[in-house]
Amino acid sequence: MKWKKLTALAMASMMIATILSGCGGGNSEEKSSGKTAESSSEAKPDEKQELVLNNVDCKVLDVNDARNYNEFILLNHVQEGLFRVFSDKDGNDVVENAGCESYEVSDDGLTYTFKLRDYKWSDGQPVTAQHYVDSIKRLLNPENGFSYSFMAYDIENAEAYYDGQASADDIGVKALDDKTLEIKLRANIPFFIKKLTNVCFDPVRLDVIEKAGDQTKYNADYKLHVFCGPFVIADHTKGNEIVLEKNPEYWDAENVHLEKVTLKEIPEDSTKSILIENKELDAVEANSEYIAKWQKLTESGQLANISKTSPSCNYMCFNQHTGGLSGLMNNAKCRKALSLAINREEMNEVVYSGINIPAYGLIPAGMLVGEEEFRTVAGEEPLKADYDKYKDDNEGLQKMFKEGMKEAGVDKDLKDVELTIISSGTTVQDQAIQEYFKQTWEDRLGVKVNVNICADTSLFVDERNNNRYDLVFMGWNGDYNDPMTFMELFNTGSGYAKFMGGYSNEEFDKMFDSLAEESDMEKRAETYVAMENNLINEQAGIAPIFYSNKQFFVQSYVKDMSFPTFGSAYEFSRAYISGK
């Protein structure tokens, strides 16, 4: 199929509509701040220290409830957990001790003891080990329904508590004293420190939360919060910008140079381009249309370019909660026909100017199992063989889809089948990506595809939560460097099931459960390979589309800003302005 022409702007500016993401990394030594390639310890800071960045407005300010890319960027800079992720001069992730001054791990790898440094909340109260205990127990409380609860399941009795089979007191976390936190694991988890960099484990103040009274208000109103990170929220104009100011109570305030950071919501890339060229925006993540243009500014010395392979996968989710509006999304053959119909190479070249990597699996390159790179160990991605088989076989795909319809008890012609995609994106680029899927499936499968573009996020959430859809395009940026950061999304009962289509498969769950106490890296790798094949090929639980490559452009006067592979997309807590 040759994709019908959209406007030049739509084709050039395509980016994904929704990415969920978090953080990761790991080591036990306290190190100096990580630096980007444009760091300059010799540069003299300007008198005025202000930074302006682009970030989607945040509706969630609660660290335990956070789940999105934009929320992690914000909360990473206003709160301080045990660890913080930077990138070094070579662009590699470095985990530094933050709220944790030091830690020890028992010989059997089951007990972690953290010594906290002396640091404070923005109201002057000390941060204590009990605040971390309260955070973990609150994260796991099933009544709260926090999406990231699964991140804590490695802790002893954590999952049992969430499932109602243990009490909160049974969870393997306790404060030995005000400055000593102990966490016991159910098994030796080699990447546990990497998980603790996620903001969901940051300390919380129950007295402050209880005073707020209502979770919705607590999430929305920054004035109801206290902060313990490098910055505090000073102002929030909903739908426009969030203003941060330096936190004078921060333990390392002397190394925080920026006095003010403004996070602006700038939906259109054309606007970002004008602002970055006029030096009214200090850093931006680029898409295909502007890379070449901004590269010229890099060559002239105005901008610095940071290019990174992202630990992310972007995929189409099928509504397996109810089978969708069509009643067909619970059938594996229908799902697989839809997945195989997508020409990922064409889509990447025509829509994304070739900047991404077509995906036939879930796990991107660079993810490690122990010391081994997963994709090298796994070999060919699980969907690739069948994709090649059906690449030009529309008749075969239609036959597969009709077999699925018969199994699902739907008796109608293909032309009478209607599928509905929902999207929260209203920009040209958001709408055009949905148009690509629509044209692909109508041309290759002969079905009708409706695109429901919701005017705002609340309408999208209502449509999704009430299952008024068949398909939704989503993405995930890994929280830490192990395939489990992707696999745990699709285990039955995962906190992300409602966002990811609700895939549930007994065989997948058994393999997932077998990893809870498996520390042999070779066996873990074998299980991951089988789980990926189950999800992507055998059951077609999702349709992988592409792995992302990220391109950041930063004004040359911005020094020591990090762009970690795992964690907050931007790490600016030790950045400064010089020579603006």
Q: What is the pLDDT of residue 429?
A: 62
Task: List, in sequence order, the alpha helices (H) in 213-331.
Answer: 215-220, 269-277, 288-299
HSE value, Cβ hemisphere, 13 Å, CA-based, for 516? 19
Helix (H, G, I), strand (E, B) or coil at 400: helix
Report residue 175 as tokens: 């404060």
What stretch of H or E contains 548? strand 542-555
- For residue 457, the model assigns a pLDDT of 81
Q: Which of 474, 455, 486, 501 is nearest to 18 (CA)?
A: 474
What residue ranges of the chain are covered by domains with CATH 3.10.105.10?
310-385+415-549
| Strand residue runs (E) in 161-222 | 173-177, 180-184
pLDDT tens track for 385-435: 999 999 999 999 999 999 999 999 999 999 999 999 999 876 666 777 889
The fold for domain 21-302+556-577 equals D-Maltodextrin-Binding Protein; domain 2 (3.40.190)
- Residue 384 tokens read as 């690739």
* pLDDT given for residue 516 in this prediction: 85
Q: Which residue has the tokens 């829509």?
A: 351
Which pLDDT tens digit goes with each residue over 432-450? Answer: 788 999 999 999 999 999 9
* CA pair distance 452, 422, nearest whole angstrom: 5
| Count of residues making up the chain | 580
Instruction: Please report, to the nearest 10 degrees, the dihedral formed by the alpha carbons of residues 574, 575, 576, 579 taken in order.
Output: 150
**First and final C-alpha spacing in the chain:** 50
Asked if residue 346 lies in contact with residue 352, where contact means CB atoms within 8 angstroms, the answer is no
Strand partners, 80: none
Residues of the chain with CATH 3.40.190.10: 21-302+556-577
Dig out the tokens for 372 from the structure. 């081994």
> How far is Cα 505 from Cα 534, in angstroms, rounded to an integer?
9
From CA 67, how far away is CA 570, in angstroms rounded? 16
Cβ count within 10 A of residue 409: 9
- Residue 470 is encoded by which pair of tokens? 């068949």
**Three-state SS for 410?**
coil
Query: What's the CA gap between 332 and 476, in Å, rounded?
Result: 22
258-304 pLDDT tens trace: 999 999 999 888 899 999 999 999 999 886 678 888 989 999 999 99
Residues 6+ apart with CB under 8 A from 137: 168, 171, 173
Under a CB-based contact definition with an 8 Å cutoff, are residues 534 and 528 in contact? no
Place of tokens 């989503």: 474
Residues 6+ apart with CB under 8 A from 304: 36, 37, 38, 298, 553, 554, 555, 556, 558
The segments of the chain whose pLDDT lies below 70 read 1-42, 287-288, 426-429
What is the C-alpha separation between 262 and 250, in angstroms, rounded?
Answer: 19
Q: Can you name the residues that pair with 559 across neighbouring β-strands? A: 576
Residue 424's pLDDT is 83
Instruction: Give the predicted TM-score (pTM) of the model.
Output: 0.79
| Residue 269: predicted pLDDT | 83
Amino acid 41: pLDDT = 55
**CATH homologous superfamily for the domain 310-385+415-549:** Dipeptide-binding Protein; Domain 3 (3.10.105.10)
